C-alpha cells in the first residue's frame, strides 16, 4: 500500500490548479428507493445491469435508479482542535455491506465527535467510526439499525477503460441524492493532496473523471455503466484556489477501497508497505550532476527503515523496482503503494555513476503522528 516517500510534486500542480479534497455542507434532499434483489446469502446487494450500446441517457437513469438506495449522506459534528471552533458539515458514503458497514473518505469524518447517516429514504441513524486510514483517505462507518439496507455491487476497477461511462452519486453542497455523469478520463493518476490536519500525502492509482463532483461528494461512489462501484470520489482539481468542479475529479479505485475497508473492519487499521525514503524527480540540474536523465533521487533516508537497513543513502537515484522502470518519484510511490508488508523487492539505483541493485524487505508503515 502507501509508502513514506514524501515526493516533491509541486510541478505536478504548477499553475494548472490545486488538488483539493472535497468538503461540503448539509441540506439533505431525500430520494425514493427502487426495487433491489436479495442474494442467496441474505446479503442485500444492488443488481449489476446489462449494458446495451444504444442505452444513451437511459443508461444513466437506470444506473441512478439502481445505485441511489446504496448511497448515504454523512453529517458530522465535532469539537475541533484545542482552541479552534467546532466543525460541522457533510460528505457522502456508500453502503459496503448490508449489515451496516459504510465506506467514505477519511477526510469526511476526521475530527468528528458525532457522525450521522442520512439514508436515501430520508431516515437517519447514528454511526460509529470502525476505522480510518489517513494515507488512503478512506474510512469505514457502522450503523446498527440497518433495516432493509442495500449494499452496492462491487466492480473490478482494474478492468475500467478510459472513455467508458462514469456516474458520480453523492451530496454536493448538501444536495443529497445528486447524480452526475461523464466518462473515465484517465487511469492510474498520482495526485498530491493536503489532509485535514495539513499533512501532505499522495493518492496513487486514482481514476480521473469529468463527471462533475463538488464539495460534499467526498466518499460517494463513482460507478460504471453496469451500476457497479469502480471508485470512491475523493478530490478535485481546482483553479485559483476555488473549491468547485473544473471538470477534473479523482476517485480512489474500488479494488483499493475494498482492500482497505476489509482491513479496517477486521482489525481497525491498515497495514501498509513502507520503504522509508523522501525524494524528488530527477530534473535537468540533477541530471547534469549525477549523469542520470530519469529516476527518483533520494533526498533523505529515514533511520531504522528498510531503505536504511539496505544501505540506500541520500543522493542515490532509484531507477527500478523489480522489473518496473522508475522514471520519476511518482513511479516509485505507485510501485511501493501496490506492494505489501513483507514483500522483498529488488531496488536498482545509480550511485557515483554506477548502477547497483539491492534487495529490500518492505516493513509496516508506522502510524501517522500528525492526525
Cα 92 from Cα 220, distance rounded (Å): 5
> Structural domain tally of the chain?
2
Cα 77 from Cα 147, distance rounded (Å): 25
Phi, then psi, of 286 in degrees rounded to 5: -65, -40
Cα dist from 28 to 31, 108, 148, 177, 210, whole Å: 10, 16, 20, 8, 24
Cell 454523512: give the residue.
Answer: 74
SS3 140: strand
Phi, then psi, of 344 in degrees rounded to 5: -100, 120
Q: Is residue 231 part of a domain?
A: yes
Question: What is the pLDDT confidence band of residue 294, given thresholds at 50, 70 and 90?
Answer: very high
Work out the average pLDDT over 107-121: 93
In a shared domain, residues 215 and 337: no
Contact by Cβ (8 Å): 134, 371: yes
What is the extent of the structural domain holding 285? 273-364
In a shared domain, residues 195 and 75: yes
The reported pLDDT for the residue numbered 38 is: 36
In a shared domain, residues 138 and 45: yes
The reported pLDDT for the residue numbered 95 is: 97
Pick the more confident residue, 38 or 303. 303
In a shared domain, residues 236 and 357: no
Phi, then psi, of 111 in degrees rounded to 5: 80, 0
Beta-strand (E) ranges in 87-199?
A: 87-97, 101-104, 114-118, 124-133, 138-142, 153-154, 165-170, 178-194
The reported pLDDT for the residue numbered 9 is: 20
Cα 194 from Cα 196, distance rounded (Å): 7
Least confident piece of the model among 42-46, 220-224, 336-340: 42-46
Sort 353 into a burial class: Cβ within 10 Å, 0-12 / 13-18 / 19+. Answer: exposed
Q: Is residue 5 part of a domain?
A: no
Q: Taking the model in full, what pTM does it have?
A: 0.77
SS3 44: strand
In a shared domain, residues 102 and 233: yes
Least confident piece of the model among 1-10, 164-173, 189-198: 1-10
Q: Which of 109, 125, 118 is nearest to 77 (CA)?
A: 109
Work out the average pLDDT over 307-328: 94
- Within 13 Å of residue 64, how many CA atoms lie on the same side as its CB? 16
In a shared domain, residues 257 and 288: no
- What CATH number does residue 123 fall under? 2.40.10.120
Active site residues: 107, 137, 218
Dihedral class, residue 112 (left if φ above 0, else alpha if ψ from -120 to 50, else beta): beta
The reported pLDDT for the residue numbered 72 is: 97
The reported pLDDT for the residue numbered 11 is: 23
Q: Tens digits of per-residue pLDDT, 226-273?
A: 999 999 999 998 766 555 667 799 999 999 999 999 999 999 999 889
User: DSSP character for 60?
Assistant: H
pLDDT above 60 (res 318): yes
Q: Tens digits of per-residue pLDDT, 48-105?
A: 877 665 566 689 999 999 999 999 999 999 754 444 555 578 999 999 999 999 999 9
Q: Tens digits of per-residue pLDDT, 140-168?
A: 999 997 778 999 999 999 999 999 999 99
The reported pLDDT for the residue numbered 164 is: 96
CB atoms within 10 A of CB 205: 18
Mean pLDDT score of the chain: 83
Q: Is residue 8 part of a domain?
A: no
Cα 221 from Cα 70, distance rounded (Å): 9
In a shared domain, residues 258 and 306: no
User: DSSP character for 119?
Assistant: -
Grid coordinates given for 201 = 500525502
Grid coordinates given for 178 = 445528486
Q: Is residue 9 part of a domain?
A: no
- What CATH number does residue 359 fall under? 2.30.42.10
Amino acid at each position: 500500500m502507501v509508502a513514506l516517500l514524501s515526493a516533491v510534486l509541486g510541478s505536478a500542480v504548477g499553475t494548472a490548479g490545486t488538488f483539493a479534497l472535497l468538503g461540503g455542507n448539509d441540506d439533505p434532499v431525500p430520494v425514493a428507493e427502487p426495487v433491489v434483489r436479495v442474494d442467496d446469502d441474505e446479503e442485500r446487494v444492488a443488481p449489476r445491469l446489462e449494458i446495451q450500446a444504444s442505452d444513451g441517457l437511459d443508461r444513466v437513469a437506470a444506473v441512478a435508479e439502481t445505485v441511489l438506495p446504496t448511497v448515504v449522506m454523512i453529517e458530522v459534528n465535532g469539537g475541533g482542535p484545542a482552541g479552534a471552533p467546532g466543525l460541522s458539515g457533510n460528505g457522502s458514503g456508500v453502503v459496503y455491506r448490508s449489515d451496516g458497514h459504510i465506506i467514505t473518505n477519511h477526510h469526511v469524518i476526521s475530527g468528528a465527535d458525532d457522525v450521522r447517516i442520512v439514508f436515501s429514504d430520508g431516515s437517519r441513524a447514528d454511526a460509529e467510526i470502525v476505522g480510518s486510514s489517513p494515507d488512503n483517505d478512506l474510512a469505514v462507518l457502522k450503523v446498527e439499525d440497518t433495516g432493509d439496507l442495500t449494499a452496492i455491487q462491487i466492480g473490478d476497477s482494474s478492468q475500467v477503460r478510459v472513455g467508458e461511462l462514469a456516474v458520480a452519486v453523492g451530496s454536493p453542497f448538501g444536495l443529497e441524492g445528486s447524480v452526475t455523469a461523464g466518462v473515465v478520463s484517465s487511469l492510474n493518476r498520482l495526485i498530491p493532496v493536503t489532509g485535514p490536519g495539513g499533512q501532505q500525502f499522495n493518492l496513487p492509482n486514482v481514476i480521473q473523471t469529468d463527471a462533475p463532483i463538488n464539495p460534499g461528494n467526498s466518499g460517494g461512489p463513482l460507478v460504471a455503466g453496469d451500476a457497479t462501484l469502480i471508485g470512491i470520489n475523493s478530490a478535485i482539481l481546482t483553479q485559483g484556489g476555488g473549491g468547485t468542479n473544473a471538470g477534473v475529479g479523482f476517485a480512489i479505485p474500488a479494488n483499493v477501497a475494498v482492500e482497505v475497508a476489509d482491513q479496517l473492519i477486521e482489525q481497525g487499521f491498515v497495514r501498509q508497505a513502507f520503504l522509508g525514503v523522501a525524494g524528488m524527480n530527477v530534473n535537468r540540474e540533477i541530471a547534469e550532476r549525477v549523469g542520470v536523465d530519469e529516476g527518483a533521487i533520494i533526498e533523505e533516508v529515514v533511520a531504522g527503515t528498510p531503505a536504511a537497513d539496505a544501505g540506500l543513502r541520500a543522493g542515490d537515484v532509484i531507477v527500478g523496482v523489480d522489473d518496473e522502470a522508475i522514471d520519476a518519484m511518482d513511479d516509485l510511490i505507485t510501485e511501493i503503494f501496490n506492494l505489501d508488508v513483507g514483500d522483498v523487492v529488488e531496488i536498482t539505483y545509480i550511485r557515483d555513476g554506477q548502477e547497483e541493485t539491492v534487495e529490500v524487505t518492505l516493513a509496516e508503515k508506522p502510524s501517522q503522528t500528525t492526525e
